[in-house]
Each structure stands twice: as structure tokens, then as C-alpha cells.
Structure 1
Amino acid sequence: MNQNGSANLATLTLRATFFILLLVMAVLHVTSLFRGLDSAHGMEQAAIAREVARGNGLVTKVLRPASIRQNREATNETGTLADACKNTYHAPLQPLLLGAVFRAQGAQNFEAWRPGKNEYIYQLDRVVAGFSIVCMMLAIGVTYLLVCRIFDARIASTTALLMLFCELFWKMSMSGLPQMLMLLLFTCGCYFAYRAIEASEEGGLPILHALLAAVFFALLCLTHWLAIWIVIGYAVMAALFIKPRGVAGIIALVAVIAAVIVPVLQNIKVSGNPGGTAVLVLFEGLAGSEEYAMRSLETIPLNLRQLAIHVLRLSVMQTKDLYAYFGAIIAAPIFFVALFHPFKRASISHFRWVLLVMWISATLGMALFGLKGGENSPNQLHLLFAPLMGAYGLAMLSVLWSRLEFPKTIPLMSHAHLALVVVISASPFMLRMPFDVLNSLSSGENIAPNYPPYAPSILDSSIVDYADKNEIIASDQPWAVAWYADRRSLWLPIKLSELETIENIADAEETPIVGVLTTPISSGTRPLTETAGFYGEYLSLMLDGWAALATSTSPERRLVSKEDRELKGFYSRYPFPRVLFFRSSPMVLYTSRSPGS
């Protein structure tokens, strides 16, 4: 066999090994390593997707008090709870695509997918995770093609390995969040943007590529509203680097406007404002939490004093956790060093400035709308930039490495820097994974879900057979009730009086609230001081589960709320509390009907 044949065989062997490893890791992450969805946004988007599969459109079963208020104000108090369930919070693309997948799987039939006996992981969660993993696999492929075009196959292969071994990418895939779909669309948009810049520098016709880039960036905005900030940055730089100057930027902005016009008109119709309920996410960035605003029937003023300074401070603060936001891809932060290197090809040089300005614009957006949850936040956009920034970082390292003497004298050391980057980035994840797999295999069928706070089997067994389809359960985790129990669920309002107001509306519409569910999401996964702040009037209810656990050996379990005089009205409506234990972490379902009725 000649030298070229040996090289081709080696290349094919390495690619086959990569694809096998990718498939093995994908299978592991939807089987033995999977614990179910762990994101509130992911669960609600999945529940919306199920309604899409049923032909009901973009409808959520999560009732936000703020949505009820907005809808009633927009309709002069004539709006119903069903109207308030029309989605004005989530971007529509992932629910629509998932809805098609669910339809193909027959997931619109809730009964067919209910957990079996001793089954703790909801099987539809695996379908959601599988969809995200497929998007991630496609994103790796597109990234490889793009980096090959910018640099070479060596750097592209290393970038693909960094993506494969990025723990954050796998976590996001299993969360239910749309970030992996966003990664695919963002990478496709960047591919055509680079092609447009390249064609512009070579005297070709860049308009077709610029148009395709605009289409993918518009789809990106339909996957997450915060991505509009990325497109603003792209439009500015496209206007500078793609000829004829200004046209590509205008095309991008027009594409986004055309994409969002239908959701905006729907938001105005349902909520009275273009941003819908999603506009209240501003409270996350500027006031520390959107939860209070979402759970209130009253309009809460937002303090916008010193807005510019506040956003600038939060933007700078993101840099201290940038390594984690980039998924621990060590080459990604080196991108900022690569900004000072004079790359020979103008397209490579220009494209890095496009990436930088898009990232700066996205950082400002994340500062404005908040990053609660750190690298796992629903608003996390840094990870979209990690692969391409990492490719530039690898290129910069290669330039520096080539200037050393010993790589020239020792051929085996010529690519050692790339191997070292992969080892450093992947080691924490890959060294822990075998133990996680072994622990999972030893657990057998008793694989633990993400509890606390989410227990799909308990929500199914305690709520589905208790509440009819037209009845409502109020809860501190309504997204989980909506997804795992397929029942409309009210996010527990801030005040007891607001709960009574919504109860009266629900009774008048013959869709009564028949229970209130409290879970460890309020008192088990957050400090009690925070619980007291968010659930002041309900605090004794939030402590009931732990009181029942502490008195479980007594003849009768004690509930703190029964001693709370402020809750006499509540107990007159929900007099039958049921303590639900799952792995020593309690939930309490306060019902309006006795268990035997």
C-alpha cells in the first residue's frame, strides 16, 4: 500500500472511531446516565410540544398569574384562563419541532406513555433528550466543515473532539432546554456568514450566502428570544465586511422581523404587549428574580435607574465565570489572544471580529435578562460561541507552538499541544463517566430521577387519577405537573388573596382548582430564608412536608400549617392534605376532596 493509501486508511479509521465514540456516548446519555429533564423551561416547552402534537397549537398548561393579569387587561376582563394559557413566553421553534417528533411517536396519547410500576424515569423525557443530542451531533458536523474551511482538518478534528467531550453540551442536551438546537442553527448561520465574507473578499457574489445566514439567524431567534441580541451584533458586522456594504446587515434584520412578526402579533392579542409574558424576564436581570413578577396578579414596577451602569457591571461580572460558560473548553478563552494575531487571510481576520461583536452583544443581552443558574441557565448563550472561539484559540496555540524548537526536532511533538488541550478539557468529565455508568448499572431499575425536586412517578400516581382533565392543580412547580401529569397547573400566586381570586375565576369557568401541591423545590433545594421571601404567606405549607417527615414515627403526622391561623380559609377549601414521600423527601398535596371520594 502506498503512502497516500495508508494516510487515507488512517483517516478513515480515526473518523470511524470518532463516530462510534459519539454514538456510544449518545446512547449512554439517554439510557444509563439519564435522570430525566431537570429544567423548568425544558419541561414546559415539552408540554407545549405535546399540545402541538394534539393539534391544539402553541398552548401551555402552566398558568402564570402574570399571564392571567395581562390577558384580562388586554381583553377588558373578558379573557378566560384558557386564553391565558396561549403561549406568550417561550419562542416557538423547539416546541413546533418537538411536536412533530411527538406526533411521529404517538406521544399525544398521554395514557400510552404513563410510567409503569417501579418506573421512575418518564420515557418521553428520553425522546426530548434524544432530539437535543441529534441536534448536537449535527452541530458537531457543521462545525467541523466550517473550521476546515477557516483553518484545516487538524484544528477542525480537535474542535470536534472538544465538543464531543464537553460535559456542558451533554448536560444541556439532557435538560430539555433548546440550547443544542440553537447551537446547530447558530453554527449553520456562522457557516454561511463566513462563506459570504469569503466570497466578498475574493470578489464573488456573497448575497446568496448572506441570505442563507440571515435565514438561520432568524430561526435562531425563533428558538430563543434572547438570540435577537446575537443578530444585532451580526447585522452590524455584516454591514461592514460583506459587500455591497450594508446590504447583508439589512437582510439579516429584515429576516428577523419577518420571522417574529406572527409571534409578536399573537402576543399583542393575548397579553396586550409585543413581548408577552417573556418581557417579565427583565426582572431576572434587573431585579434578581422573575419568579416574583410571574406569580403576582398585580403589576410590579421595575426600577430602571442607572440601567446602563447596571448592565455594564453584570456584563463584566460574566467574565469571571467565562471558563465554565464556555463548557470548560480551555481553548475558547484563548480566542481573545487570537484577536491580536495578524492572520494572513482577510476572511479569517474579519470573521473573528464578527464573532467578537456577536458575543459582546449577546453578553449585554444576558446581563439585561439574567443568568440565574450559571452555566446551566436557560439564558446561557456563551456556549454557542465556545466551539468557534475554541477553533481560533487552537489556531493561536498552533502558531505559538510552531515557534518552539523541540516540536521541529521531535516529529511526535508536532501536534502535542492539540492533544494536551483535549486531555485538559475532557479529563474531569471522562474520568468520572465510567463510575457514573457503573453506579447506574448497579442500580438496575431503581435509577433515581432528578429528585429533589422532580419525581415523575409520584406526580403521575397522585395527580392524574385525582384531578380530571378540566381541573387545575396549583403548585410551586407547575411545569412539572403540566408535563408529567398532563394537567393544567397554576403557579402558586404570591398572596393567598390572589389564589382566592383565581379560584373564583376558575369556578366560574367550570375548571376548578382542586388541589395545591408543595414540593422540595421551595423548601428543599433553596435556603429557608429564600423560601420565606418567595412564599411568605405559604411558609407553613412549605414546611409541612419536613414536619411530617420528622413526626413519621408518631401515631399521627404533624403538619405545621394546621397551627397557622392565617390558613383557616385555605383549609376550609383544601381540608384533606396527603403527604407524598419519595426517597425521604416529602411533598404534600392539599385536596378539596377526601381520598375516598
Structure 2
Amino acid sequence: MNPPNTGSRAPFFIVLILLLVITGVQFFFNFRGLSSDAAMDQAQIARNVARGEGLTTHRIRPIQLIADSSKSGLNPLLSDAQLREQEAILAGQGKSLVDAENFSPYKLRDTRYAPLNILVEAAVFKLAGIHNYELWKMTGDSMIYLPDRIVAAVSAIFFILSVLSCYYVLRRMFDTTIAGFTCLTMIFSNLFLQYATSGLPQMLMLFFFTWGVHFLYTALVNDQENRKFLWPIVFSAICFSCVCLTGWIGLWPMAGFLLFVGIRFKPHGLYCLPVLVILLLFLAYPVYINKTTSGSIFGTAFYTICTGLLGSESTAMKALVFGDIPIGAQTAVISIINNIITQGNILYENLGHLPLALVFLLALLHTFKKKPVNQAKWGIFSMWCLATVGMALYTANKTEISIGQIQILFSPFFTAFGTAFVLNLIARHSKEAAPVLRGGVLLLALLVTALPLLLNLPQIVRVGILTAHRGIPAWPPYYPLGISQEVRNQTQAGDFILTDQPAAVSWYADRKTLDIPSLVSHFTTLERVLSFHGGKVGSILVTPSSTMGRDIRAVSGYYGEFAPLVLEGSILGQTRDKNPVYIFNHSGALSKLAERFGQSDSRQFIMGADMILYRDLQQPGPAHQD
């Protein structure tokens, strides 16, 4: 490795120009609106924050609704007789069974997400005026919801900042060649570009993670030069704590950071104390709110463990109590082991298809000349090992973008170490041909990453220009125009919507939503909670989210007694023109609901039978307003 060349700025400007151009192409020509449930969910919470309502959510998760209601003193799982007895006792004490100050489904605080990304979006929303829904409602023939672009712009800005930060940090650790090459692979990686406009918190996490590594490296340099290293460790701890506050999955690499600091810096274990203090200070308020709201310091974020154990987070969130979640001890252990192995199998894909990133595992066996660089690799490895365990628990191990998949945070540093290792081997064993081999290896590795994007780039630009006036929505399953216009116009502000697409409806229609449960008795219990606060489920929306990627058996297993409801659209799509079959009306388990939502004029067809809004025409909605 050569020392950094402070005289030439050409590599930096090449990286900067390509970064802006490629990010611009992705944002302006290839963006189809938000396609992540979590991104929409965080966006609707951010809009509530911008309105001054705090971290409240329109999306009502059954397990949180029951837990928060019970914590406030109203346990909906009790019988009517028990509730009347409790009400009489409280009345004697001058209290009420229903206390809207302690709990209200209309002001349910989110305990699922880490708050930092939401707060950043909320600040942007406030400046742009997105908290006023009427100013940003979809009009004309545009198929892309404009606030989607603003959410994506926040991610894109932090992607740009992250790449530039990586350039600075890696140039300091290695040299200009390695820093420039690593940043180019990030710019041309399809996975990085997807995250860059996804609205997910990964780019904000990458920004803080990069600077956390920078200050950790500074501490190692200072220690080698017998200078004070406490403050760099403190700044590094602050950065990694911000990673945790951006996504709770960040607590796992933070544990790896603690482990490395405790072992590397002497006296052993002493420097873990300021790191722990900083982390606890950052987590204090969210933990306090979770505890006072739901009785658990983890809130509903705890149940995301079911993403790795069961393959679906919503399986746990749809349950009423923890005992309803089908997790067995033996199954859990087997799932964790399988998921860790799977993380290894799909490592290349989740690192962004960067070939030299995988060489990092070989670079661990290599001793770099710069001692701080050599030690930094073990710090990154320690964080990655713990993060892999966390991802095995909190992700479904798929290769598409996910809020719990953070391999991408390590990708730039894996690539830099892997590149440095390869270049060192070339310089050591082939001195005469080293320049040609170096250039050939780097060019080949860059082409492997960039070729898929470069081959599709003309088509992306052409389609983007032709559809610029309307845009192409992420359909199926998301249809913002239909949700923001037809669903919103056909529902009342105080009603809750039962849907298989709760995040999208909460974001695009600005309505309160409930996940579709698997049992009618669970629905009855949930609506019972709402009734105590003057609310009810006023409509049901079924979309392709119910059936995409699932056969009939999978749909039946996931939706249980509600399977006829979510399958009705598919059946009507085949029979509607001749002899329509309304299986919702013929389900015994759903007979009571069919009386409310299955009348001949209850159904509102959106995008044909692909999206159906079932309205309750029997009862007026509550008087709550936006």
C-alpha cells in the first residue's frame, strides 16, 4: 500500500461526479415509489411527529394494542362481568375504566422502530409541509406519491454522504487507490442503489458506522503513538450508539465493538465503561417510553425476533399475547443455526455483489504493515460476527432489501481490506508486472459489480424519460393512487381499516389501520378495545399482498379463518365476467362479518378485483377527525 497522496484530487472528483450522476439516475429515472413496508411505516410515524403528535402510529399491531390497553388498566381479555366489577371498583375510587390520558388507540405510540431515522424524516417533513396531508395529496394522473420521493431523497442524501465519508476514512487507513476503488464499487452496486432510494434507515446507519470506524481507527493510531485515545473511543461510541438509535439491529455490532474495546485497550475492560455509559444515555429515553407505555423495555421491537425464527415478523405482531406465538425451544435453536449458515450462503449477495469483499475473510490471516490497520480489521470482524447472530434472529435471510439486513454496513470495509490484501500479494510475488496486474484485477472486480447496472442503464434512462410525467408504481402490490384517492374517499377519518397492507394504507391514505388476524375471535377482541374508545373497524381492504408468493395452502395457513376473505379477489378475477363467486359470503366463520361487510353494495373494486374495499354500511363511524 502506498501512503495517501495529498496532492492529487482527481480520484475524489471522479468519485464525486459518478456518485452524483448514478444516484441521480436511480432517483429520477428508476424510482418507482416506496416498495418497503417498513419504509412506509416509518414515514407515516414521521408525519405524525411533524404534526406535533409525537412518535404515534396509525398502524395498530394487535399484540401492542392488547399490551398497551392492559397496561393502562383495561384488559380486553377479561370477561364482561370481570370488567364491570373492575369498573365499579374504580368508580368508587373516583377513577374511570377507560382513561384516554393513559391509553388511546387513536394515539398509540410506536414501540417497534428505533427513533433516529424517523426523527430525521420528521424534520424534513416539517420543512416541506408534508404534515399537512391535503397539500400533498395525489392529483391528476401521477402514479408516484410525491412524499415518497422526499423519503427517498433523505436516503439518497445519506448515501452520498456515506460514500464520501468512506472515501475519506479508507484513504486515511489505506491509500487513494483503495479508497477510490471501494467507493466506485459502492456507486455501481445495484444493492447499494436500491437502499439509497428505499427510505429504509441503512444509509443513515452506514453514515454513522463509517465515522464510528474512523474514530476507532484514530484511537488505535493514538495508542500506538502513545497519545491519549479516550476521546476517540468516546466519539466512536457516540457514532455506534447513533447506529443503534437508527435501527435496533445496530445493538449487535455495538456488542462486538464493546468486546473489541475491552480486549484491545489496556487495562482490559476499563474502556468498556465509558462506552456502556454513552450507550445507556442514548437508549434511556426510548427504553423509558417503552416501559411506561407497554410494560416492556423492548416494546414491540422484541417480537421482531420472530422474523428469523418463523420467517415473518407479522406472525408475532398479529398475535394477541406472547403465548399465542408458535415458537418452540427446539425449533428456535434449529432456526438460529440454519439462519447463521444461510447468512454465510447469501453473504456475497447481501454485501452488494462486491467480489473483493469476500476476500476480507482471507485478509484476516494477513498481517498489514500499519499496525492500527491490522488491529482495526479485528474490530470490524468482531462487530460483523455479532451482527451476523443478530441478523439470524431478526431477518428472514432473503437477499432483497430488508430493515434488519445490515451486511451492507460492513461491505465497504470488507472490500477495502480484501483489495489491500490482493494488491499486497501482487506486489510481493510479481513486482515487474505489478502495475498491469493491479489495474487488471481492479478493473475486472469493478466490472463484475457494475456490469448489471451498466447494461440496464440505457433502458432505465429511456423508460424513465418516457414515463416521467406519470411514473411507474411498485405494482403489484402497492398502488398509491388508488389508496390515496379511492380508499381515503370511501372511508371515514375515525374508522379503522382492517387490511393486509396496513403500512401502505396508513401512509398513502392517512388512516388508522389494523393487521388482518387469523381468528375471528381475535378480531372481535381487537374491535372490543376500539369500542371502549368510541371506535370501530369501518372497512376492510384486501390487496395482492395477501397472495403474492403464496399458494392457497400458504394463504390458508397464514390467514386462518380470514382466508376466504383474502382469496375472494382471486376467485372473482376468474369468475366475475360469467358467474361471480363471492366466497366471503359463504364462509361460516366469517358469517357475522359478511353481514356487515359483504352486502351487494359494500364492495368497492380498485384495480379490478385485485384490490377490494369492503365497507361497513350498517353502522355510522365515530366522530373522530383528522
- TM category (shorter chain) comes to over 0.9
The structural deviation recorded for 1:86 is 0.6
- Separation in structure 1 between the aligned mates of residue 12 and residue 369 of structure 2, nearest angstrom: 30
CA distance in 1, matches of 2:107, 2:559: 23
Q: Using the alignment, how far apart are the partners of 1:361 and 1:84 within structure 2?
A: 36
- Are 2:409 and 1:384 aligned? yes
3-state secondary structure, aligned to 2:541: strand
Alignment of 1:97-246 (within 5 A): 97-246=120-269
Cα drift, residue 249 of structure 1: 2.2
- CA deviation after TM superposition for structure 1 residue 560, in Å: 2.1
Q: Structure 1's 411 and 41: CA in aligned 2 closer, same or farther, altered over 3 A?
A: closer
Do residues 498 (structure 1) and 495 (structure 2) align?
Answer: no
Q: Distance in 2 between matches of 1:452 and 1:331?
A: 35
Distance 1:566 1:235 in 2: 53
Query: Which residue identity lines up with residue 30 of structure 2 in the other structure?
Result: L
> Unaligned regions of 5+ residues in structure 1, if any?
1-6
CA shift, 1:531, in A, is 1.1
Distance, in Å, in 1 between the alignment partners of 2:576 and 2:359 is 56
Q: What do the CA deviations read for 1:363-387 (whole angstroms, capped 9, x no partner)?
A: 1111122335434222101110000
Aligned-partner SS, 1:590: strand
Aligned amino acid, residue 448 of structure 2: I
Instruction: Quote the residue 2:421 is aligned against.
Output: 396
Asked if 1:251 is matched to 2:248, the reply is no
Matched, 1:46 2:70: no
Do residues 512 (structure 1) and 509 (structure 2) align?
no
CA distance in 2, matches of 1:221, 1:331: 28
Q: Deviations over 1:429-460 (max 9, x none)?
A: 22122212222333353432111111110001
Aligned counterpart for 2:299 among listed residues 264, 276, 279 = 276
Distance 2:247 2:380 in 1: 19
Partners of 1:472 and 1:307 lie apart in 2 by: 34
Provide closer, same or farther for how the CA distance between residues 527 and 185 of structure 1 changes in structure 2, counting only shifts above 3 A.
Answer: farther
Give the AA of the match of 1:44. D
Q: CA deviation at 1:404?
A: 4.5
CA distance in 2, matches of 1:40, 1:561: 26
Where does residue 495 of structure 2 map in the other structure?
A: 471
The question of 1:543 aligning with 2:540 is answered no
Q: Quote the residue 1:57 is aligned against.
A: 54
Aligned partners of 1:511, 1:99: CA distance in 2, in Å? 27
Correspondence 1:430-449 to 2 at 5 A: 430-449=454-473
| Contact 1:235/1:250, CA 8 A, preserved across alignment | no
3-state SS of paired residue (1:470): coil
Cα 1:472–1:98 change in 2 (3 A) is same
- Deviation by residue 1:217-250 (Cα, 9 ceiling, x = unmatched): 1111111111111111101111222345433322
Partner SS for 2:34: coil
Measured at CA, do residues 176 and 580 of structure 1 come closer, stay the same or move farther in structure 2, by a change above 3 Å?
farther
Q: Give the secondary structure class of the aligned counterpart of 1:222.
A: helix
Normalising by structure 1, report the TM-score.
0.93
Supply the distance in 2 between the matched residues of 1:83 and 1:578 (Cα, whole angstroms).
26
CA-based RMSD: 2.3
Match of 2:136, as an amino acid?
A: W
For 1:143, the aligned partner's letter is C
Q: Is the 8 A contact 2:105 2:530 kept in 1?
A: no
Task: Quote the Cα distance in structure 2 between the aligned partners of 1:596 and 1:220.
Answer: 46
1:324 aligns to what? Answer: 349
- Residue 303 of structure 1 pairs with residue 320 of structure 2: no
Q: 1:66·1:297 contact (CA, 8 Å) conserved in 2?
A: yes
Tell me how far 1:14 sits from its aligned partner: 4.5
Match of 1:26 among 23, 45, 68: 23
Cross-structure match for 1:66: 63
User: In structure 2, what residue type is equivalent to 1:172?
Assistant: Y
Aligned to 1:3: none
Distance 1:264 1:409, change over 3 A: closer
Secondary structure of the corresponding residue to residue 163 of structure 1: helix
SS at match of 1:507: helix
Relative to structure 1, the CA distance from residue 92 to residue 547 in structure 2 (aligned partners, 3 Å threshold; closer, same or farther) is: same
Instruction: Output one character per residue of 1:68-93: Cα deviation in whole Å (capped at 9) or x when no partner.
Output: 11112222215644377211111000
Contact 2:15 2:180 in 1 (8 A): no
Q: Is the 8 A contact 2:195 2:203 kept in 1?
A: yes
Within 2, Cα distance between the matches of 1:216 and 1:592? Answer: 50
In the TM superposition, what is the alpha-carbon distance from 1:506 to its structure 2 partner? 2.0
Measure the CA separation in 1 of the matches of 2:27 and 2:214: 29
Pick closer, same or farther for the CA change 1:270–1:497 going to 2, 3 Å: same
C-alpha displacement of 1:585:
6.5
Alpha-carbon distance in 1 for matches of 2:617, 2:244: 45
Question: Distance between the aligned counterparts of 1:13 and 1:353, measured in 2?
Answer: 32
Are the counterparts in 1 of residues 606 and 613 from structure 2 also a CA contact under 8 Å?
no
Supply the distance in 1 between the matched residues of 2:331 and 2:535 (Cα, whole angstroms).
44
Whether 1:338 and 2:335 are equivalent positions in the alignment is no
Counterpart of 1:123, as a letter, is L
TM-fit CA distance, 1:30:
2.1
- The SS at the match of 2:432 is helix
Tell me if the contact between 1:211 and 1:248 (Cα under 8 Å) persists in the aligned partners.
no
Q: 5+ residue gaps in structure 2?
A: 75-97, 622-626
**Structure 1 14/293 Cα, relative in aligned 2: closer, same or farther at 3 Å?**
closer
Identity %: 31
Q: Structure 2 counterpart of 1:379, which letter?
A: G
Per the normalisation by structure 2, the TM-score is 0.89
- The corresponding residue for 2:441 is 417
CA distance in 2, matches of 1:63, 1:93: 21
Work out the CA distance in 2 between the residues paired with 1:245 and 1:298: 43
Rounded Cα–Cα distance in structure 2 between residues aligned with 1:580 and 1:197: 63
Deviations 1:485-542 (A, max 9, x none): 0011111122112212222332332222110101100013433322111112111111
Aligned length: 587
Q: Distance in 2 between matches of 1:304 and 1:409?
A: 57
Q: Secondary structure at the match of 1:360?
A: helix
Say yes or no: does 1:360 pair with 2:357: no
| Alpha-carbon distance in structure 2 between the residues aligned to 1:473 and 1:310 | 34
| Counterpart residue type for residue 595 of structure 2 | S
Aligned to 1:489: 513
- The alpha-carbon deviation at position 191 of structure 1 amounts to 0.7
**Post-superposition CA distance 1:300-332 (Å, at most 9, x none):** 253234755653442122111110010101111
